[in-house]
């Protein structure tokens, strides 16, 4: 599976409203649920929080990549969200996250979530790539930026 197959405009929100980690997680999980990705919204959310308890997925550099591999996911997808004001996602460098990628992987996907995580991380360390995502005004523009992955 190519990474671009994991993105869809229906699971993108370029104007996240949450101000806390919990509010952002709720918005992103709801986005995946409404996009038909989840078999069980609450079970997926629990899996996200279980992963967050291991260590924060706030990476610094304006980025958070919460992820979970669980039977609560029907179809693998990466949801994208953007917040102009930013929010604290527990990054070690103390910076606020403005870009969030929530990876939803089925429990039958062997290493899909790890491949997506690696590809995103490799590209998100590039300041120009992050800048283009931060400047995107529509989900379509986000897709165009992501096509360079």
Q: Which residues are catalytic?
A: 67
The pair of three-digit structure tokens given for residue 91, joined into one six-digit string: 């990054």
Q: Which long-range contacts (CB under 8 A, 24 or more apart) does 18-22 make?
A: 18/83, 18/87, 19/85, 19/87, 20/87, 20/88, 21/52, 21/58, 21/87, 21/88, 21/89, 21/90
- Token duo for residue 44: 């997926």
Supply the DSSP string of 38-56, one letter for each residue. BS-HHHHHHHHHHHHHHS-
| Residue carrying structure tokens 């931060």 | 134
Structure token pair of residue 131: 């800048």
């Amino acid at each position: 599976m190519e990474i671009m197959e994991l993105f869809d405009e229906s699971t993108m929100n370029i104007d996240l409203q949450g101000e806390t980690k919990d509010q952002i997680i709720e918005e992103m999980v709801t986005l995946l649920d409404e996009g038909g990705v989840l078999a069980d919204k609450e079970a997926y959310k629990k899996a996200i929080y279980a992963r967050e308890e291991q260590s924060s997925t706030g990476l610094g550099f304006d980025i958070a990549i919460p992820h979970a591999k669980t039977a609560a996911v029907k179809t693998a997808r990466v949801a994208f969200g953007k917040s102009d004001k930013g929010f604290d996602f527990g990054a070690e460098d103390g910076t606020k996250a403005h870009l969030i990628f929530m990876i939803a992987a089925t429990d039958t996907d062997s290493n899909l979530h790890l491949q997506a995580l690696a590809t995103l991380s490799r590209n998100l360390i590039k300041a120009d790539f992050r800048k283009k995502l931060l400047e995107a005004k529509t989900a379509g523009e986000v897709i165009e930026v992501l096509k360079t992955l």
